[in-house]
């Protein structure tokens, strides 16, 4: 996934983007912050697209990559904020992205379950089949991950 069309080898602040010295990680986190900003757009299509791209970003995370605490908190909070979005396509994209996030970073998400689970139960009553299906999947995933089964 390429979030940027051009990637100079040296940025204006001197970071080398060839993967050495953690600078590649710096650029990837910067890209994720942009996606998180897009997730808060007033346009529902832009929000849904942002969560689709966040999902792709999360799936590209390598096992040795570590996201900063601030970025991880913002990532989780953005998902929580939009898990009950007023547009069903945003909800579905958000829940799909959150499913991937919880699979990779389940220990980090654990402290937020008390905020997430009540919102998921609200989504179960949503009239849209896609929302109910993605909510059921996410609830079952949470049960599987945190019950140890």
CATH topology of domain 20-147: 1.25.10
At 14-66, the pLDDT tens digits run: 323 334 444 555 577 889 999 999 999 999 999 999 999 999 999 988 766 78
Q: Is the model more confident about 8 or about 105?
A: 105
Domain positions in the chain are 20-147
At 115-144, the pLDDT tens digits run: 999 999 999 987 899 999 999 999 999 999
SS3 62: coil
* The token pair that represents 57 in the structure block: 């970003």
DSSP string, 132-147: HHHHHHHHHHHHHHHH
Q: How many residues does the chain have?
A: 149
Q: Which of 55, 129, 133 is nearest to 99 (CA)?
A: 55
pTM: 0.80
């Amino acid at each position: 996934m390429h979030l940027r069309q051009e990637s100079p080898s040296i940025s204006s602040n001197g970071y080398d983007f060839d993967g050495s010295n953690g600078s590649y990680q710096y650029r990837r986190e910067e890209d994720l912050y942009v996606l998180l900003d897009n997730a808060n757009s007033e346009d529902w299509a832009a929000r849904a697209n942002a969560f689709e791209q966040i999902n792709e970003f999360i799936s590209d995370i390598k096992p040795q990559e570590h996201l900063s605490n601030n970025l991880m908190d913002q990532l989780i909070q953005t998902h929580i904020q939009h898990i009950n979005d007023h547009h069903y396509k945003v909800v579905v994209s958000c829940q799909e992205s959150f499913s991937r996030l919880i699979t990779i970073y389940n220990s980090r998400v654990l402290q937020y379950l008390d905020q997430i689970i009540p919102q998921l139960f609200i989504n179960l009553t949503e009239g849209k089949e896609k929302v109910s299906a993605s909510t059921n999947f996410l609830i079952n995933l949470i049960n599987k991950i945190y019950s140890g089964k």
